[in-house]
Structure 1
């Protein structure tokens, strides 16, 4: 084999790696490297000598698992996790339920103006979360809300949605309003992939539209439901923008309402970057464990259903 042929063969084999190189470099610089640096910071701490004044009075030393121990025993972080759990119990079922309902409606022959309706439901997802939180925040404020004005004119009570228990529903409403459209599109795309012959066979057997939806459509889009549930869980665990945006509008929300708000407060409020790094790593590990456990359970269930179907 000539040298030119060898170079040509090497170039063809190395072409995929050349195409992957830019993405690999960007991944390493802006994803892998920051994660590694955060993990390294989580094992460090600042040691202060004396009053902390003068050169050498503050130096970074190895802390081992001290930051992780403090984070695991921090009541503020635990309370934030419990608040996010309650928030997720409202957001995830309501959002996915509405997304499935809208997707089934869009897939029905009885619905008119499907493209416009689909766009109208999806449009809130295109609005940035901070902008959506500001819009809803001012709608919640009793002094500027048109809803409060109408209730006042009607002589009805004006609930304060930014205080106490209603705050959970106010935050959940923002997430549901913004995320339902995306999940609906995912489910609707799966519904469109169902062969028309399946629907026709069910209609010939005398199945009603409700029976077709419950016994054919929903089981066949189960993988999409699993995917949207997976994304929703991750988004719930990482909630930050909405409560952070609403915080200046109410005194009922603390700076540690969610775990990520606690990380932000420690990193940029109190300046304890090492404790914040440990908390961020813990949140990432919990998210990874829950996600992996859920996907493994879902895959195991799908394999069991496939095995049962093959046995029949």
Structure 2
């Protein structure tokens, strides 16, 4: 008689909760991080949508329409779809082309003078050769605190013949055909140089002092240190200031608007912004004003992209 024995191997069971608890953790953390990112980005997205995208879209919509009289004109104006008609009308307008030429010439003069002056003043403040840095920085920054309209009125009286002293000192008429552009450049430079100087000075404070001490140990003077070390290390900040200054130059508005009350040289369409203002609030041609605004926005975006690409290439 044969007996068979059966061996029973004990098995251990793992609770279901322990097998699923491990992989459930990371997805929860990931979802929480995504929700946190969305919550932090939501205010900026709403602000961008309400202040940039919606007005830009509405301006684009207005640029495709124009107001025309219906029939004999007894029914008033009605909105008519023109497509790109407003854009072709603006581009063919000699006043608009002349305003763009004025803005371009202003930018070519104002941007190098203002940025170079702000950079030189920041380097002087950062050096040991200038005492009372806080007082000098406040004195240079103070014109930026003056509102643009008030500053324009002050300079307008300084330029006026018989009232201000500058008309007798300067070798040219500051309110004449050949002198109004340098006058406007001077007004804008006086107001914005201190602002950019503070930005450059703050960037210079981030330059490692060990690098500066090594340059002095190698025998580099103050000028060589500034040109070879300080300026290259704050080049990104300079390019950012260049982008904003370029955009601001295309949007020149306050200074020529104020000077219009002092001279007839500055017309109602002297700059693109004045051209848009005249079309919208004087001629009530909102389609033409919107088309000019879109063209100005496109030009600002293209110039900004060009400057940023040049800065990235220069950095490499």
CA positional deviation for 1:11: 7.2
The CA distance in 1 between the partners of 2:77 and 2:212, in whole Å, is: 71
Structural mapping, 1:78-97, within 5 Å: 78-97=97-116
Structural mapping, 1:245-264, within 5 Å: 245-264=258-277
Within the candidate set 275, 280, 286, 2:293 is matched to: 280
Pair 1:204–1:265, CA change in 2 (3 A): same
In the alignment, structure 1 segments of 5+ residues that lack a partner are: 304-312
In the alignment, structure 2 segments of 5+ residues that lack a partner are: 1-16, 18-24
1:193-240 superposed Cα distances (whole Å, 9 cap, x missing partner): 111111111111111111111222222221122111111111101101
CA positional deviation for 1:49: 2.4
The CA distance in 1 between the partners of 2:170 and 2:123, in whole Å, is: 37
CA positional deviation for 1:143: 2.7
The CA distance in 1 between the partners of 2:166 and 2:96, in whole Å, is: 35
Q: SS state of the match for residue 179, structure 1?
A: helix
The CA distance in 2 between the partners of 1:277 and 1:228, in whole Å, is: 28
Structural mapping, 1:50-69, within 5 Å: 50-54=71-75, 57-69=76-88
Pair 1:226–1:8, CA change in 2 (3 A): closer
The CA distance in 2 between the partners of 1:146 and 1:263, in whole Å, is: 34
Within the candidate set 36, 39, 45, 2:66 is matched to: 45
Contact 1:47 1:58 in 2 (8 A): yes
Matched residues, number: 292
CA positional deviation for 1:254: 0.5
Pair 1:23–1:196, CA change in 2 (3 A): closer
Contact 2:123 2:201 in 1 (8 A): yes
What does residue 307 of structure 1 align with? none
Within the candidate set 214, 218, 221, 2:234 is matched to: 221
The CA distance in 2 between the partners of 1:65 and 1:296, in whole Å, is: 30
Residue 199 (structure 1) aligned with residue 212 (structure 2): yes
1:123-146 superposed Cα distances (whole Å, 9 cap, x missing partner): 111222122111111111123214
Further displaced range: 248-257 or 214-223: 214-223
CA positional deviation for 1:189: 1.4
The CA distance in 2 between the partners of 1:176 and 1:276, in whole Å, is: 28
The CA distance in 2 between the partners of 1:97 and 1:77, in whole Å, is: 30
Within the candidate set 115, 123, 129, 2:134 is matched to: 115
Q: SS state of the match for residue 90, structure 1?
A: helix
CA positional deviation for 1:293: 1.4
Cα RMSD (Å): 2.3
Residue 35 (structure 1) aligned with residue 48 (structure 2): no
Q: SS state of the match for residue 275, structure 2?
A: helix
CA positional deviation for 1:190: 1.6
- TM-score between both structures, scaled by the size of structure 2: 0.86
- TM-score between both structures, scaled by the size of structure 1: 0.87
What does residue 306 of structure 1 align with? none
Largest Rg, 1 or 2: 2
CA positional deviation for 1:261: 0.4
Contact 1:263 1:276 in 2 (8 A): yes
Contact 2:100 2:272 in 1 (8 A): yes
What does residue 269 of structure 1 align with? 282
Q: SS state of the match for residue 60, structure 1?
A: strand
Residue 140 (structure 1) aligned with residue 159 (structure 2): yes
